[in-house]
Amino acid sequence: MTDPVVGLVLEGRYRLEERLARGGMSTVYAATDLRLHKTVAVKVMAEHLAHDPTFVDRFTREARAAAMLSHPNVVGVSDQGSDQDLVFLVMELVRGRTLRDLLTARGRLTVAEAFAVLDPVLSGLTAAHRAGIVHRDVKPENVLIGIDGVVKVADFGLARAVVGTGQTSQTGGVLIGTVAYLSPEQLERGRADARSDIYAAGIVLYEMLTGHPPYGGDTPLAVAYQHVHHDVPAPSVEVPGLPWPVDELVARTTRRDPAGRPLDAGAFLAEMNHVRKDLGIEPVPVPTGRSTAGPDTLRPTNRPTRPRHPSDPMTEVLGHRTDRAGRTSMLPGMGAGPTMNVNGRRPAIERARPGVPQHIRRRRARFAVAIIILLAVTIGAVGWWLGSGRWTQVPELIGQEQNAAIDLLQSAGLDPDCCDKQWSEEFPEGAVMSTHPAAGEAIRGTNVRLMVSKGPERFKVDTALVSKPWAEVEPQLQASLPEIQFTTSETYDNNVSQGAVVGFDPPAGTDLKRDQVVTVVVSLGHEPVAVPDVTGQTPEQAVANLEALGFVVKKGADGRSAGVDVGDVMAVSPGPGDGPVKFGSTVTITVSIGVPLVNVPDVTGMKEDEATAALKAAGLTVDATKFFGNKVRQQQPAAGQVVEQGSTVKILVTL
């Protein structure tokens, strides 16, 4: 049945030409952009969902999420709209197949092929994660492999921008996604972040290596239960001989606890590249599942022969006729005939038939000689090609600049396949790091893949983060520099407020290597200050000196001091002997209002020397009057009176 939508022109611009695929929620058509005259893909929402605001919102969100991304490994979205009761979005058209189709055809992939497919997938997801977008439905059906080997991630219909919590939430209380690839946290709580995409990508890696997902079951609930309660088995259990680092990579990326997985797709890609390097796995082309030597491919050995017309003189000389299908047959009445007799001599030329003009016979003879020469040259060329001629040397290109390496390959009769690029501490930017195949003998026309250096990978901490609160700086560093490890230390700083960033070690703006440790120095505030000795100063002088050091000064109750003049500061608390105190602390000063007061002791009846000692011990002076005796009979002031320290007490000493 003809699709009724085919032939419609949406918004006067997109003419739907052919239905490419149909899913539960949408149908994809090949369409012509009448304005730009190019072929695009148009995804049209299913009719029964077009009036559901929830699904229309999801559909619109896909357009916005994908439009935020500009990456060669993400299917680009260029437009979105609704027309004639159809809700649609416009995407680039990728000619090829899905990873699901490839796995169905191949069963499983080698480690090198699996890495070749996963590398661009993770590159595309890295761009999404760095833009704050989580895909939430990574699976083989959403990985497109073009006929040119370019891999693209598609279908951001479930994607949602990361909110302040760093997670995405379920839509309308309904868990959406493909259960075979959903992470435990999506299944249990309906929440997802970049690490949920890592889990799904790890499951896809497992499936590429083994040919099937890790869990199966009669119902989706049975599959979900295994994701939540079991660890993903090692791929080598299904495919003996897989290297253990590959098992470890699958295990790390599919841990049930999100905290144990790589932070995002960029971290996953870095770990995969480490494994590839450790195992010495050479880069291979992305498997497309298509033959490279099909009937449409023209090669020197299978190039079709141009059919000749019967009147073609060369056909007459050769004695053959070519039909429309390119098959040759003998002309009637003519045989192949020997070109040499049994003695090795050329036979006599057959006499011309009666009635054939002389110039025709000469022309035929010239053509015969030309064909013989052509056959000789062709046979020689084929012999040379089958012998040494088809071989050439892949030149030594390590360290060569990219364009110079391409020129050398072309001069050697080889086809440059440019270029894989990788960070390198050893090679400068633009230099060739390796070739596949390596230097040595190769057949002319062979594709030589170049691995070109992007130079040393470096990262920088923004200098604008200095002096900002650490509570604000920390999430910014985690989001913008996940490749760098940060640790903290604390120090007093008189110019940076407590809790703010004093600086970085190495300093902000310095070129940093991946996984380099950077220490963030956080301020403890102003360093503690010692309280100076302000006793003996006027209250005004003492307050000015203490406030200059950052103290808050409070005047306490007045006191008395024998050593400080009335009106001067006699004490400060905390004092100089208490050690440094926190900057901005409150100190209390005490002002003297005179010498201390003492109670006059009762010395009547005491001997003179005893009374004198008692009064001096109380801080008083003694004025004694004696009359023929040694006992104190009277004292003035009287016992119990309160007098200032140092006052004179008169005593009368008699018998």
Task: Note whether 5 and 16 are within 8 A (CB).
Answer: yes
Quote the CA–CA distance of 369 and 636 in Å, as a whole number.
Answer: 163
Instruction: Indicate if 3 belongs to the active site.
Output: no
Quote the CA–CA distance of 618 and 608 in Å, as a whole number.
Answer: 16
Task: Note whether 515 and 491 are within 8 A (CB).
Answer: no
Q: Please, is 385 exposed, middle or buried when counting C-beta atoms within 10 Å of its C-beta (0-12, 13-18, 19+)? A: middle
Tell me how far CA of residue 193 lies from CA of 57, 123, 162, in angstroms: 20, 17, 7
- 445's CB contacts (< 8 A; 6+ apart) are 413, 414, 415
Look at the block and give the residue holding tokens 């940093």: 512
- If phi > 0 it is left, if psi is from -120 to 50 it is alpha, else beta; for residue 117 that is alpha
Say which DSSP state 592 is in.
B
Backbone angles phi, psi at 489, to 5 degrees: -140, 160
Nearest to 125 by CA among 41, 201, 183: 201
Going 163 to 164 to 170 to 173, the CA torsion angle's sign is negative
Nearest to 186 by CA among 200, 202, 175: 175
Active-site residue (options: 85, 101, 137, 602): 137
Q: Please, is 468 exposed, middle or buried when counting C-beta atoms within 10 Å of its C-beta (0-12, 13-18, 19+)? A: middle
Task: Note whether 42 and 19 are within 8 A (CB).
Answer: no
Q: How far does Cα 139 stand from its chain's mean position?
A: 20
Catalytic positions are 137
